[in-house]
Amino acid sequence: MRHTEIRKVAFVGDYLPRKCGIATFTHDMYASLASRFPEADCFVVPVNDRPEGYDYPPEVRFEIAEPDMESYRRAADFLNFANTDVVCLQHEYGIYGGTAGSHVLGLLRDLRMPVVTTFHTVLREPNDDQRRVLKELATLSARVVVMTELARSFLRTIYDVPESKIDVIAHGIPDVPFVDPNAYKDQFGVEGRLVALTFGLLSPNKGIEHVLRAMPEIIKAFPNFVYIVLGATHPALVRDQGERYRLSLERLARDLGISEHVIFYNRFVEIEELTEFIRAADVYVTPYLNAAQITSGTLAYSFGCGKAIVSTPYWHAEELLADGRGVIVPFADSKAIAREICGLLSDEPRRAAMCAEAYRLGREMVWEQSAKRYMESFQSTRLGRQDQPYKPLAVRTLAEQQADLPDWRLDHILRMSDSTGMLQHATHTIPNFAEGYCTDDNARALLLMVLLEELGQGGAKVERLSTTYAAFLQAAFNPVTKRFRNFLGFDRRWLEEVGSEDSHGRALWSLGSCVGRSRRPDLPAWAATQFELALPAVLETTSPRTWAFGLLGIREYLRRFGGDRFAAQTRDTLVARLIDIYDRTTTPDWPWFEEILSYDIARLPQALIASGYDSGNARALEVGLQSLSWLVKIQTAPQEHFRAIGSNGFYRKGGQRARFDQQPVEANATVSACLEAYRVTQDAVWMKEARSAFEWFLGRNDLGQDLYDPTTGGCFDGLQEDRVNRNQGAESTLAFLLSLAEMNLLETSLASFRQAR
């Protein structure tokens, strides 16, 4: 293997001088790899948990602000432009922004080189967000590294990571000589004493108090016993509670009368000083209280230095200390801790044999060996030696390059909007005043503004636009009929007293989204009132699309007001109606709700998938997924790109499907429905289909022509048989921008999708 093929390696994770275990690990991994392979250009991209960052050493070349999603994208650009060969990512849920650290997914999706991810935590019982993030990380990574065999088993059985993709590389440790502890005790003032040591950032889950309670019994047998507690209080705990936990430990020591036998070193120590402390210890103790710790750097360091260890049975300890390589005691059992420490101190031959065996086995864990194993993992990504070919989403063919998410441009939205609302149509890019306004488009526009706010793309401009569109919906609502009017002339006269059923459904969807998603102080309260007034009328409608739009609005509304019984009952009624027409219409070759595929059709399965998942209605979820799967096949061209049902005749059962005019609204609906299916099932097939429908806007279509116009921020009105319709109306532009918002939301936070259901 020629290691020189890896010329540039970037390490991403926390980094010293930030005080945490991941920072220490990243530093030691960087240093060992740079030393072992000097021909490789190694550098670091750390994550900052505070605005001012840290006083980093020169190997740090770019910094990521933990809560800022754009910072992750900028980091991806930096790594791409730097021609990085491989990224070595350290993963722990708490070090990246977003729910369950989901912001890091945006970084990985934009990278153009393979990523090797080290999972420092692999949970046996993850919550939904944690499971999604880890599975997606594993999918986006060329290889994944864990430090124990149990972690490998969890990845396979709980997270469905292919065995061929997993490397087990033990936590690296410093390579130090095997020494007599007595030679190092005088520098800490404990010469002539028997020393037990615990080190690491202090927090209540470390269980130090149970060792303190064991000490009176130990001191009776060994009056010269001393317990060193080394480490600063965890910074997060200091921010929230100050030094309350450490003070409680010192108070407990006083109450037990053992203060002269306990030494607290309240500081974060570097590896050289830490090694000195470990050398001085006769016994190392890890009394942690949580079994779900798959990796412990402190345990690995002490074991590799040849220490006799007494530990509670957390996962890493059970595996590393099995077969007599250490001593396991029950959680929170002070009597057992006292008994086993006394047993080791009184049986010097046993303790010496345990130390020698730990040191022997630890030679395979030293950082030089870890660096070698990591380089082999990096190299395998370059040589393509995975059973499943690795191709991150951002490593693209020419066609795939067209699917990059464009930058936000609201120029055409502003051009098409005035103080009344959003105009319906345009001639090329010039607003067509003669066609006036409609509720459909203003509802879509308000929904877009809410999504932009959620994406952090808000500000005065978006707030002003959302207020305008909200005012339009308020004026459109007829308090007598309890229905929305749809068409408004440019002279500000309503052209009807009762609008279409579909416009009523879209208005409900938009209002529900304001309630469920907006964080403005005024918009949700206003929208909740309007929603409650308009909701009953949806039960009087007959259009399946209206029911679907209403269901999507109810789903959003219930995000904030989950206890609203009428909204939940309305949801259940509309779901039952959709299932009923599906059961009455479906045949083996036509599993659909109607005998025609017409307009905005993917909203029907989307509504059932979302509502079925939220309410626990397995039948609704099943129908939604089955019908969407069939629709996706119908809308896929032989060339494997998205082909919408044409609006010039649509597709009636038993007839010929219309191939043109293909409308942007169909691509938007399919993007939304497939993303909903992905959020519910975590099946990557749905992500692929959503991406395919989105790429339709960007030229992956029957004519190979872009529908989105990046020079104006608008979208052309449709794909005709020989050209695109050059007009850039409201519906088409909103269809593209809503699709772009949903694709961005997926990258920003998987959790945002879960909350949207």
pLDDT of amino acid 666: 97
For range 15-23, the mean pLDDT: 90
Burial (Cβ within 10 Å: 0-12, 13-18, ≥19) of residue 400: middle
The H-assigned helical ranges of 82-140 are 103-110, 128-140
Q: For residue 382, name the pLDDT band (cuts at 50, 70, 90).
A: low
pLDDT of residue 440 exceeding 90, the answer is yes
Lowest mean pLDDT among 142-146, 174-178, 619-623: 174-178
Task: Label residue 172 by pLDDT band (50, 70, 90).
Answer: confident
Residue 697, classified by CB atoms within 10 Å of its CB into exposed (0-12), middle (13-18) or buried (19+), is: buried
Report whether pLDDT(301) > 90.
no
Of residues 618 and 750, more confidence is placed in: 618
Question: In what helix (H) or strand (E) does residue 119 lie, and over which residues does it extend?
Answer: strand 115-119
Q: Cα(474)–Cα(69) distance, rounded to whole angstroms? A: 34
Q: Which residues contact 270 (CB under 8 A, 6 or more apart)?
A: 16
Task: Please tell me whether residue 290 adopts helix, strand or coil conformation.
Answer: coil
> pLDDT tens-digit profile of 54-91?
999 999 999 999 999 889 989 998 998 888 889 999 99
Give the residue carrying structure tokens 């033990």.
170
Domain 3-172+368-395 has CATH 3.40.50.2000: yes
> pTM here?
0.52
DSSP string for 604-629: HHHHHHHHHHHHT-HHHHHHHHHHHH
Which residues make up the CATH 3.40.50.2000 domain(s) of the chain?
Answer: 3-172+368-395, 181-364
Going by pLDDT thresholds of 50, 70 and 90, the confidence category of residue 641 is very high
User: Is pLDDT at 109 greater than 80 in this prediction?
Assistant: yes
The pair of three-digit structure tokens given for residue 676, joined into one six-digit string: 């909903």
Report the pLDDT value the prediction gives residue 36, as an integer from 0 to 100: 92
Round to whole Å and give the CA distance between 521 and 504: 25
Q: Cβ distance 367 to 169 under 8 Å?
A: no
CATH for 399-756?
1.50.10.10
Question: Which DSSP helix (H) or strand (E) runs through 196?
Answer: strand 194-199
723 versus 485: the higher-pLDDT residue is 485
| DSSP letter for each residue of 439-451 | HHHHHHHHHHHHH
pLDDT at 404: 59
Residue range 321-374, pLDDT digits in tens:
988 899 999 999 999 999 999 999 999 999 999 988 888 887 888 888 899 999
| Phi, psi for residue 603 in degrees, rounded to 5 | -65, -25
The phi, psi pair for 30, rounded to 5°, reads -55, -50
Beta bridge partners, 60, equal: 44
Architecture of domain 181-364: 3-Layer(aba) Sandwich (3.40)
The residue type found at 733 is: T
Question: 567 pLDDT band (50/70/90 cuts)?
Answer: very high
For the chain, first and last CA: distance in Å?
A: 49
Contact of 99 with 750, CB cutoff 8 Å: yes
Q: In the structure, what pLDDT confidence band is assigned to residue 21 with cuts at 50, 70 and 90?
A: confident
DSSP 378-406: HHHHHHT-SSS----TTS--HHHHTTSPP
Both tokens of 364, joined, read: 């395979």
User: Would you state the pLDDT for residue 390?
Assistant: 32
* 749 — pLDDT class (breaks 50, 70, 90): very low
Q: Binning pLDDT at 50, 70 and 90, where does residue 403 land?
A: very low
Summarize the confidence of residues 271-299 as an average pLDDT.
86
**C-alpha distances in Å from residue 190, one per residue of 180, 184, 251, 756:** 14, 9, 22, 59
Residue pair 403/700 in contact by the 8 Å Cβ criterion: yes
pLDDT in tens, 29-38: 999 999 999 9
pLDDT at 275: 83
Amino acid identity at 447: L
Point out which residues pair with 594 in neighbouring strands: none
Q: Which residue has the higher pLDDT, 385 or 600?
A: 600
Question: Dihedrals φ, ψ of 403, to 5°?
Answer: -90, 5
More confident residue, 19 or 488: 488
Q: What is the pLDDT of residue 617?
A: 97
pLDDT tens figures, 203-212: 888 899 999 9
Whole-number Å distance between alpha carbons of 423 and 291: 60
